[in-house]
């Protein structure tokens, strides 16, 4: 984009996280991305939180504006861009989300904001507390055998490098859906997606979402709109 800028890694220890926002201000860092395990911890240190980040309960992007720090969740936007780029309809559909972590929360928030009919959140612990919503049900993997739907979305790390032979569910579950989405991008095609492809399903890997959420972060930091063709260009370069 012809900008003179740098993007660097700043490792932060657990004992330092309480001072990190003051350091961002002291060094006048325009923006930062936040990764695990600090996406929820950082919330209480911010001056403002966007609507989508409030709904999700996690922040992955922070912008410094007039000596105040504002938190956003660009995973939310990245997921939406991935669906729209691949022409995946979600209006009045049924989605199953494997996992209940931070990524699952972003996916759930986006689907609820875009007229999904029903969401099943799959967990190994049905006693887990989640924010109540009439369209959302919490079930376990045993219950999943009785469910059919439109989208099956993996937000767990199962199948991620180096454990590339693993899959969160088998072909008997995969066959009950028309579209499979995996937020994992390494490997690009997980065993989960291979099962879907073997069944003739539409399959989406997580690389497009990764690029789209990164571009959204830049839009926030640079206060400028970046056209979608830039997402496509970066995505194709990475393929």
Q: Which positions are catalytic?
A: 39
Complete DSSP assignment for 162-199: T-TT--SS-HHHHTT-SEEEE---SSSS-HHHHHHHHT
| Spatial CA neighbour of 184 closest among 202, 198, 199, 203 | 203
Taking the CA of residue 37 as centre, how many other CA atoms within 13 Å lie in the half-sphere pointing to its CB?
5
Instruction: Return the structure tokens found at 157.
Output: 């790390």
| Helix/strand/coil (H/E/C) assignment for every residue in 101-121 | CHHHHHHHHHHHHCCCCEEEE
The answer to whether 82 touches 204, Cβ cutoff 8 Å, is yes
Question: What six digits make up the tokens of 188?
Answer: 């690009």
Cα–Cα distance measured from residue 51 to residue 57, given in angstroms and rounded to the nearest whole number:
10
């Amino acid at each position: 984009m012809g900008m003179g800028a740098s993007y660097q890694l700043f490792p932060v220890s657990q004992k330092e996280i309480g001072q990190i926002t003051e350091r961002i201000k002291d060094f006048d860092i325009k923006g930062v991305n936040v990764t695990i395990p600090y996406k929820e911890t950082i919330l209480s240190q911010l001056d403002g939180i966007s609507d989508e980040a409030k709904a999700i309960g996690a922040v992955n992007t922070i912008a410094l504006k007039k000596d105040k720090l504002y938190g956003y969740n660009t995973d939310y936007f990245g997921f939406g861009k991935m669906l729209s780029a691949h022409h995946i309809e979600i209006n009045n559909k049924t989605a199953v989300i494997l996992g209940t972590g931070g990524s699952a929360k972003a996916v759930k928030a986006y689907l609820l904001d875009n007229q999904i009919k029903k969401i099943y959140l799959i967990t190994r612990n049905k006693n887990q507390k989640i924010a109540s919503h009439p369209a959302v049900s919490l079930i376990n993997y045993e219950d999943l055998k009785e469910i059919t739907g439109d989208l099956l979305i993996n937000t767990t790390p199962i199948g991620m490098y180096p454990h590339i032979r693993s899959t969160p569910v088998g072909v008997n579950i995969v066959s009950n859906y028309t579209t499979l989405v995996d937020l994992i991008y390494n490997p690009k095609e997980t065993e989960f997606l291979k099962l879907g492809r073997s069944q003739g399903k539409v399959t989406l890997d997580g690389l497009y979402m990764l690029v789209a959420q990164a571009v959204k972060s830049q839009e926030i930091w640079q206060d400028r709109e970046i056209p979608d063709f830039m997402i496509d260009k970066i995505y194709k370069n990475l393929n």
